[in-house]
């Protein structure tokens, strides 16, 4: 099938082409360790407006800014301010020190926005905070290092299943963006953990992601880290209906019903499986690929086997509940 949007390998030539597109105000889908992101220069208001339009994203839903270094992050927030230390519920460290550890574990930090920061207002949806992330992927880092900080939500139409391959990107954005950098499937498979810095210097969990341990708290946080009592949209991934494959989804299914495409897990077999061995890390890596496969199937409905609420299973179940919301 011919596509309108070109896809190029994420090699040196591909990165150079992506940099030219971004410099000219274009939109590039690029790989990260979590999912593919749709990137525009964070300081280019026209490019950011194109990004919102291409995704069909509501203007009240803020974007994450991806940086390549702590020095780039310092343009957007005060990295010297004191925050709660993940090693001790009563200790303090600098935001920069915390960020270095958190970014190494695929986290996004929502922090106070520095006055006069070089970012289009649309990126923050008018909020006085900004989401910052340093992706753990060499291609993403190379592009950001060359282009400067990038606003980059997941590279899919708003509300639909996130992409973990270049083909997933083209499934909803073909002809709507300028370039796709193809580096193969992503490693983690679900979006970053999002943590918000509260006024008292403590951290609240806005979105579960890869960096979760058995207790349900990020591995780099003290066990007392609070979960957000969400009343407004503070960060991406908080809409009640999200990640939809475009078909009704039934959760906690132990067997297939008529008309269903069953996605299995562990002992529950199906048309495909998240992990035959019951490995939640493998399940996270396969989650969106299986939802894309189910969406392409002839079955009008989708069923998904139970996944334990432990480790990254917390993030998997968060995405599945939102995908199943009518």
pLDDT of 85 reads: 78
* Sign, Cα dihedral of 137, 139, 140, 144: positive
131, 241, 321, 213: CA torsion to nearest 10: 0
CATH number of the domain enclosing 255: 3.40.50.11030
Whether residues 263 and 223 fall in one domain = no
Q: Give whole-number Cα distances, 241 to 233, 306, 321, in Å.
A: 13, 20, 8
286 assigned binding-site residue: no
299, 163: one domain: no
Q: Is 192 marked as a binding-site residue?
A: yes
- Would you say 275 is a known binding-site residue? no
Q: Are residues 148 and 56 in the same domain?
A: yes
Q: How many domains does the chain have?
A: 2
Was 57 annotated as part of a binding site? yes
| 129 is an annotated ligand-binding site residue | yes
Tally of CB atoms within 10 A around 26? 18
Containing domain of residue 40, as a range? 7-227
- Whether 41 has a binding-site annotation, put simply, is no
Same domain, 33 and 136: yes
Q: Cβ-count burial of 51 within 10 angstroms (0-12 exposed, 13-18 middle, 19+ buried)?
A: buried
CA distance 164 to 159: 15
pLDDT score, position 201: 83
Which regions of the chain are under pLDDT 70? 1, 86-89, 212-233, 235-240
Residue 154 in marked binding region: yes
Residue 33 has a pLDDT of: 97
Tokens standing for residue 274: 């998240």
Looking at the structure, tell me whether residues 14 and 136 fall in a common domain.
Answer: yes
Whether 234 maps to a domain, the answer reads no
Residue 241 lies in a domain: no
pLDDT (0 to 100) of residue 287:
98
94 is an annotated ligand-binding site residue: no
Determine, yes or no, domain membership for 182: yes
243 marked as part of a ligand binding site: yes
């Amino acid at each position: 099938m011919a596509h309108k949007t070109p896809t190029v390998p994420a090699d040196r030539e591909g990165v150079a082409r992506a940099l030219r597109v971004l410099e000219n105000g274009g939109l590039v889908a690029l790989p990260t360790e979590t999912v593919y992101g749709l990137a525009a220069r964070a300081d280019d208001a026209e490019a950011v407006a194109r990004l919102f339009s291409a995704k069909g994203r509501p203007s009240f839903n803020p974007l994450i800014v991806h940086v390549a270094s702590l020095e780039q992050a310092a343009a957007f927030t005060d990295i010297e301010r004191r925050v709660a230390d993940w090693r001790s519920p009563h200790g303090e460290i600098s935001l920069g020190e915390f960020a270095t550890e958190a970014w190494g574990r695929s986290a996004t930090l929502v922090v106070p926005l520095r006055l006069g920061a070089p970012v289009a207002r649309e990126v923050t949806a008018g909020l006085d905070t900004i989401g910052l992330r340093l992706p753990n992927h060499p291609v993403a880092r190379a592009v950001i290092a060359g282009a400067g900080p990038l606003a980059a939500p997941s590279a899919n139409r708003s509300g639909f299943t996130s992409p973990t391959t270049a083909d997933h990107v083209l499934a909803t954005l073909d002809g709507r963006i300028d370039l796709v950098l193809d580096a193969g499937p992503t490693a983690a498979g679900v979006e970053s953990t999002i943590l918000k810095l509260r006024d008292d210097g403590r951290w609240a969990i806005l979105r579960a992601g890869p960096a979760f341990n058995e207790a349900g708290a990020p591995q780099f946080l003290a066990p007392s880290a609070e979960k957000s009592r969400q009343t407004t949209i503070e960060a991406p991934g908080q809409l009640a209906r999200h990640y939809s494959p475009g078909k009704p989804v039934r959760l906690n299914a132990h067997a297939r019903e008529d008309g269903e495409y069953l996605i299995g897990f562990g002992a529950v077999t199906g048309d495909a499986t998240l992990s035959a061995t019951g490995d939640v890390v493998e399940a996270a890596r396969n989650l969106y690929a299986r939802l894309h496969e189910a969406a392409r199937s002839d079955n009008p409905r989708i069923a998904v086997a139970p996944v334990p609420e432990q480790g990254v299973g917390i993030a998997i179940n968060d995405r599945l509940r939102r995908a199943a919301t009518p």
